[in-house]
Chain A
Amino acid sequence: MSSYSTPWILESSDEPTSTGVPHGKLGMWVFLASEVMLFGSLISSYIVLRLGSPLFIVPSHEMLSVPVAFVNTLVLIVSSVTMVLALASIQQDNPKGMIWYLAATIACGLIFLTVKCWEYPHKWHEGITISSGLYGSFYFTMTGLHGIHVLGGVLFNLYILVRGLKGHWSPRRCERVEYAGIYWHFVDLVWVVLFPLLYLL
């Protein structure tokens, strides 16, 4: 009954809360506020140096393999849609649908990471490394940090999937599916900002 009997990072208890919002959901949004500031600091640093430094040389679109990154962006957007569908399925008491949609979300995340693993050596081949210039420094730091976040999201979704296979979730008990979804949408959103900043502009 009490919230400290089972240790879990985002523990949600059944007791009513003062605001009516579950603890885990509130905690997740506060966490995302801090993530916004983290990526915000990197993105504003990027803008400041890109506009202010004469040595900021942007590589050509061919060197950046824009089409591949574009496909990757689509993959992430699709994964956001499947994540929404996964939550909707469990809310409509369709655990099987949730598992399939969740598996699709995880697959999309893994595709994204695989393509990134292909892109990095491609960039090195083109002479763009983290120390070659400001663009490379930003490219690898920002996409690397985002990649770690994608990996975290995949692991979070995997946890939801494994619990789902054991029949853990139900329409009345699916808060953590929602938390995983909130986090996953945020990770996608960051990429939607990074993609034009790093590839298109």
Chain B
Amino acid sequence: MEGVAVHPKAGAHETHPELSFVRKYIFSTDHKVIGIQYMITSLLFLLSGFTMMLLMRWQLAYPGHVLPIIGRFLPDTMAPGGVMLPEFYNQLGAMHGTIMVFLGVVPLGVSAFGNFVLPLQIGAKDMAFPFLNMLSYWIFLVGGILMLSSFAMPGGAAQSGWTSYSPLADLAPPGQTMWLIAMTFIITSSLFGAINFITTTMNMRAKGMTWMRLPFFVWCQFVTAILLVLAFPVLQGGAILQLMDRVAKANFFIPANLIFGGVPVEQPGGGNPLLWQHLFWFLAHPEVYVLLLPEFGIVAEVLANGTRKPLFGFKELVISLCSIGVLSFIVWAHHMFLSGMRTDVTKFFTVTTMLISIPSVMVLTCFLLSLRGGSIHFTTPMLFAIAFLPLFGIGGLTGLPLGFTPTDIYLHDTLYVIGHFHYVVVTGSLIALFAGIYYWFPKMFGRRMNVFWGKVHFWVSVIAMNGIFFPMLIQGMAGVLRRQYDPTAQVHNLPSLGLNKVMTWSAILLAVAQIPFILNFFISLFKGEKSTDNPWNATTLDMAACPSPPPHGNFAGDLTVHRGPYEYSVPGHKTDWSPQHVPEDQLTGRMQQQPAQQE
């Protein structure tokens, strides 16, 4: 591709002394290495959270049966004789939620892809604060290990749900203290990351990279970072208060005259348990968008690339994104309609919840219209990105009844809620993250993943995911409550009990479907087909302006950006992609057509 991008394979910083292995790959300050570290770590955490869910699902499908394979190895405090104890079920539930949200999906979407892709896409040599970036990863790792090791605490891990509602969490066994300490590490790590992302995006754009020329992915990461900076400290504040309640016997969330386990609590109390819920959800609602916005960005990149045409309504997408960011701070109490709230307050939060659905639908509509008239290349990332649209749509639309108080009061605390947010986070976010992995894998490692096994992974995963989550919506409408250890305990559960077996076997199928992915990932790492520098013939700087994998320092020289991010199929240009950094005369003039590399 002579003429399009001149980037010698040699790194831009040949004068640098060669770094030792430890400084280069372990305690590295290079944003690309940190991104890959984050990716592998968070994929491992996703796997561990998924395993916990498999154990819970077995208990739900076959209550009181011996857990297969793993059951024999569990200690008597968790599963005597291989049969799960209720306390252990609660621990698994709390840890599944915590790990998936804070250690799995968010680090993968924000920290892994953000770190690797964002500086490349804006034409920066690295993050603004590389050392802080490295610190962020290691603090995250310590937090994650603390979180997992809390299973070894006396009384087991945290078991008050990932929401850790007080006063239950105030009086729970010591695992909860470990949860709070681990959360402090995770919050600190994400704060460092977010400071880096905001500063880098604002300050380190290449020449000519104006705000409206930033790829949508960068916009998404930028808004996400703002949400993290403003929302996470509030949970930190709440966590400090709960820690003080637990460790120093403070009274923040302990109501007066509280009796726990038949024994009056020694503190005088006077605090308000609802306060914890407000502090928690003030974080956790923006957190929902932190789970989602980076994935919007990934889908946008893949869609524009796979349809070979500009995104529909780029400006509208950016406006919607910013509206979502602002509105996400004033909807938090729709998680608390059941907690007791004045009707005028619930009205406010119902209205804001309906308002925030408008920009969300706008984003989805723009994505859908982007498909129209495109010449769609059904590559592996594109399959995932297209599947994102209807499946995330189900997740979003099933959320509307939960935003209205009358319907929410019936549906809240049923499996309907679980079905709803898993459609958002799994068939939405996680599918988009898979698209991202397949899309950026050649850029990260210089080799392509196998196409056939990628498609097997896609089809089996999508079918299995629907097999898990759609029955939840049905069970929820039938009134089956969430967080139940024994589903046979209530008579009204019995008619829909058979669906539990469908869900459990679908979950096992989903586990099996990840085997080709894992093997494909590691085998392609060493044996995959060598990738070209621009593996998807994309226009953004991450793909077009640097080799695969990019060297230390990323770009050979200073870049100048000449056009918007998604200039595909421009009339008069020799190729159907017009990279952001290539001057106009080079695109219209002498340029050789490179054979398309789409699969």
Most buried by B among A41, A134, A136: A41
Q: Determine whether the beta carbon of B229 is less than 8 Å from that of A34.
A: yes
Distance between Cα atoms of A129 and B249 in the complex (Å): 10
Query: A9-B135, A11-B129 in contact; A45/B241 too (CB < 8 A)?
Result: yes
**Tally of contacts, chain A with chain B, CB under 8 A:** 155
Distance between Cα atoms of A34 and B225 in the complex (Å): 11
Interface residues on chain A, number (Cβ under 8 Å):
46
Query: A8-B131, A37-B230 in contact; A30/B203 too (CB < 8 A)?
Result: no
Q: Determine whether the beta carbon of B268 is less than 8 Å from that of A18.
A: no
Chain B residue contacts of A53, Cβ below 8 A = 270-272
Q: Determine whether the beta carbon of B270 is less than 8 Å from that of A133.
A: yes
Of the stretches B108-116, B141-149, B192-200, B382-390, the one at the interface is B192-200
Q: Determine whether the beta carbon of B272 is less than 8 Å from that of A137.
A: no
**CB < 8 Å: which of B126, B132, B250 contacts A137?**
B250
**CB < 8 Å: which of A18, A33, A40 contacts B205?**
A18
Query: A42-B237, A42-B241, A45-B252 in contact; A9/B204 too (CB < 8 A)?
Result: no
Q: Determine whether the beta carbon of A141 is less than 8 Å from that of B202.
A: no
Distance between Cα atoms of A4 and B200 in the complex (Å): 13
Q: Determine whether the beta carbon of B233 is less than 8 Å from that of A4.
A: no
Looking at the assembled complex, report how far the CB atom of B249 sits from the nearest CB atom of chain A, in whole angstroms.
Answer: 4
Looking at the assembled complex, report how far the CB atom of B225 sits from the nearest CB atom of chain A, in whole angstroms.
Answer: 9
Q: Determine whether the beta carbon of A26 is less than 8 Å from that of B198.
A: yes
Q: Determine whether the beta carbon of A41 is less than 8 Å from that of B237.
A: yes
Chain B residue contacts of A145, Cβ below 8 A = 240
Residues of A131-165 at the interface with B, using a CB-CB cut-off of 8 Å, are 131-134, 136-138, 140-141, 145
Contact with A along B531-554 (1 / 0, CB 8 A): 000000000000000000000010
Residues of A1-33 at the interface with B, using a CB-CB cut-off of 8 Å, are 2-5, 7-11, 17-19, 21, 23, 26-27, 30-31, 33
Chain A residue contacts of B396, Cβ below 8 A = none
**CB < 8 Å: which of B199, B203, B233, B249 contacts A35?**
B233
Residues of B406-435 at the interface with A, using a CB-CB cut-off of 8 Å, are none
Distance between Cα atoms of A8 and B232 in the complex (Å): 24
Chain A residue contacts of B233, Cβ below 8 A = 34-35, 37-38, 41
- SS class, residues of chain A in contact with chain B: helix
Chain A residue contacts of B229, Cβ below 8 A = 30, 33-34, 37
CB closest residue in chain B, given A141: B244
Distance between Cα atoms of A45 and B244 in the complex (Å): 14
**CB < 8 Å: which of B13, B196, B238, B244 contacts A41?**
B238
Contact with A along B112-156 (1 / 0, CB 8 A): 000000000000011011111011000000000000000000000
Q: Determine whether the beta carbon of B128 is less than 8 Å from that of A3.
A: yes
Q: Determine whether the beta carbon of A27 is less than 8 Å from that of B199.
A: yes
Distance between Cα atoms of A56 and B272 in the complex (Å): 11
Residues of B237-285 at the interface with A, using a CB-CB cut-off of 8 Å, are 237-238, 240-241, 244, 248-252, 256, 266-272, 275, 279, 282
Q: Determine whether the beta carbon of B275 is less than 8 Å from that of A27.
A: no
Looking at the assembled complex, report how far the CB atom of A194 sits from the nearest CB atom of chain B, in whole angstroms.
Answer: 14
Q: Determine whether the beta carbon of A49 is less than 8 Å from that of B279.
A: no
Looking at the assembled complex, report how far the CB atom of B5 sits from the nearest CB atom of chain A, in whole angstroms.
Answer: 22
Q: Determine whether the beta carbon of B195 is less than 8 Å from that of A31.
A: yes
Counting contact residues on chain B (CB < 8 A from A), the size range is: 35 or more
CB closest residue in chain A, given B247: A130
Query: A30-B195, A55-B270 in contact; A45/B237 too (CB < 8 A)?
Result: yes
Chain A residue contacts of B249, Cβ below 8 A = 130-131
> Is B191's beta carbon under 8 Å from chain A?
yes
Q: Determine whether the beta carbon of B131 is less than 8 Å from that of A7.
A: yes
Distance between Cα atoms of A27 and B229 in the complex (Å): 11
Chain B residue contacts of A33, Cβ below 8 A = 229-230
> Is B231's beta carbon under 8 Å from chain A?
yes
Distance between Cα atoms of A133 and B270 in the complex (Å): 8
Chain B residue contacts of A31, Cβ below 8 A = 191, 195
Chain A residue contacts of B279, Cβ below 8 A = 41, 45
CB closest residue in chain B, given A26: B199
Q: Determine whether the beta carbon of B271 is less than 8 Å from that of A4.
A: no
> Is B234's beta carbon under 8 Å from chain A?
yes
Contact with B along A37-76 (1 / 0, CB 8 A): 1111110010011001111100000000000000000000
**CB < 8 Å: which of B230, B240, B248 contacts A34?**
B230
Chain A residue contacts of B268, Cβ below 8 A = 55, 131-133
Q: Determine whether the beta carbon of B131 is less than 8 Å from that of A11.
A: yes
Looking at the assembled complex, report how far the CB atom of A31 sits from the nearest CB atom of chain B, in whole angstroms.
Answer: 6
**CB < 8 Å: which of A5, A26, A54 contacts B203?**
A26
Distance between Cα atoms of A17 and B209 in the complex (Å): 12
Q: Determine whether the beta carbon of A7 is less than 8 Å from that of B240.
A: no
CB closest residue in chain A, given B282: A41
Q: Determine whether the beta carbon of A30 is less than 8 Å from that of B198.
A: yes
CB closest residue in chain A, given B13: A2
> Is B29's beta carbon under 8 Å from chain A?
yes
Chain B residue contacts of A35, Cβ below 8 A = 233
Given A26-B198, A41-B279, A140-B244, output 18 extra A-B contacts at Cβ < 8 Å.
A4-B126, A8-B131, A9-B132, A18-B209, A27-B199, A30-B198, A31-B191, A34-B191, A37-B230, A38-B236, A40-B234, A41-B237, A131-B248, A131-B250, A131-B251, A131-B268, A133-B268, A133-B270
What are 30 inter-chain pairs, A to B, with CB distance below 8 A?
A7-B130, A11-B128, A18-B202, A26-B199, A27-B128, A27-B195, A27-B196, A30-B195, A31-B191, A31-B195, A33-B229, A33-B230, A34-B191, A34-B194, A34-B229, A35-B233, A37-B234, A38-B233, A40-B237, A41-B233, A49-B272, A53-B271, A130-B250, A131-B266, A132-B268, A133-B270, A134-B271, A136-B250, A137-B250, A140-B248
Q: Which 9 A-B pairs have the closest CB atoms?
A: A55-B270, A41-B237, A137-B250, A131-B249, A38-B233, A7-B131, A17-B203, A37-B233, A4-B130
